[in-house]
Structure 1
Amino acid sequence: MLVQEDYKTHNHVKFLVNYHFVWIPKRRRKVLTGAISTRIRQIFLELAIEKGWDILALEVAPDHIHLFVSVKPTDTPHLVVKAFKGHSSYYLRKEFPELLKMPSLWTSSYFVSTAGNVSSEAIRKYIEDPHHGSN
């Protein structure tokens, strides 16, 4: 099962909310290289600190981003990805004029999946265990 240190506390809630996001630049252009790749990592780290989120893993490939992030239960996936895409687009396009040639930095699409330290199958088995509800 989960280790107690994995859980976080906020107000009167104990939680573990992890999202895995994947998104791509417009037209899947391979623009996330060199100084742009370095800068996007800095932007993401600064945003995560500001919002109180923990980046668990980050891959910046030339044509896509993989982000595994732990957030508060009040932060919906849509708002989390919007923050990362919006902040990075604003600063990268401001600092790297070559990105202004693109109509927008990111596509409006993204992939999201939830994750924790326990598989869905383990949770289902725990809930369906006949000894679980015994008095």
Structure 2
Amino acid sequence: MPNTYTQIHIQCVFAVKYRRALIHPSWKERLHKYIIGVINNQGHKTLSINSMPDHLHVFFGMRPTQSLSDLMRLVKGESSEWINKNLLVRGKFRWQDGYGAFSYSKSQTDAVVNYILNQEKHHQKKTFLEEYKEMLAKFQVEYDDQYVFKELE
């Protein structure tokens, strides 16, 4: 794309279907590497990734050659397929529909990288749902509680 210059930094957050705690420490690093590969192979640049058993955060520099929704469809679809193909969970693994996406300026990148890398420590104080709703509020994103990541009913 000649003469197109951008600086787009996005953090995406998405949850395991029904927020089940299925991302196991024994294979989460392999999952992270797989997702990094999907993002980078699409021409974007992964800056940070981390997950808890029931959700995942990924922060990346995004090129304007693809829509965010198309990228997230690929990330979630291909990583689900990888998890299922490698029989890493009993039954079928699926990500919950939807995701949160939040944009940041260049000056905020170090703070976001550190925030993502310290998820384990952060979640000793807050649940995923508390964290997610705080992010929505901070970014002034209007939402309907019925569509926020749900637990198994």
Tell me the residue number matched to 2:67: 76
Give distance in 2, aligned partners of 1:11 and 1:83: 26
Alpha-carbon deviation of 1:74? 2.5
Alpha-carbon deviation of 1:48? 2.6
Alpha-carbon deviation of 1:11? 2.4
Alpha-carbon deviation of 1:15? 0.7
Between the aligned residues of both structures, percent identity stands at 19
Superposed structure 1 runs of 4+ greater than 3 Å apart: none
Tell me the residue number matched to 2:119: none
Q: Once superposed, what is the RMSD of the aligned Cα atoms? A: 1.8
What stretches of structure 2 of length at least 5 have no aligned partner?
Answer: 109-153
Structure with higher Rg: it is: 1
Correspondence for 1:110 among 91, 96, 99: 99
Alpha-carbon deviation of 1:98? 2.7
Please say if residues 36 and 92 of structure 1, whose CA atoms lie closer than 8 Å, have aligned partners that are also in contact: no
Partner of 2:89, secondary structure, is helix
Tell me the residue number matched to 1:60: 51
Aligned residue pairs: how many?
A: 108
Correspondence for 1:38 among 26, 29, 53: 29
Q: Which amino acid aligns with 1:94?
A: K
Please say if residues 83 and 89 of structure 2, whose CA atoms lie closer than 8 Å, have aligned partners that are also in contact: no
Give distance in 2, aligned partners of 1:67 and 1:37: 13
Alpha-carbon deviation of 1:97? 5.3
Tell me the residue number matched to 2:81: 90
Give distance in 1, aligned partners of 2:29 and 2:10: 22
Greater strand content:
1
What stretches of structure 1 of length at least 5 have no aligned partner?
Answer: 1-9, 120-135
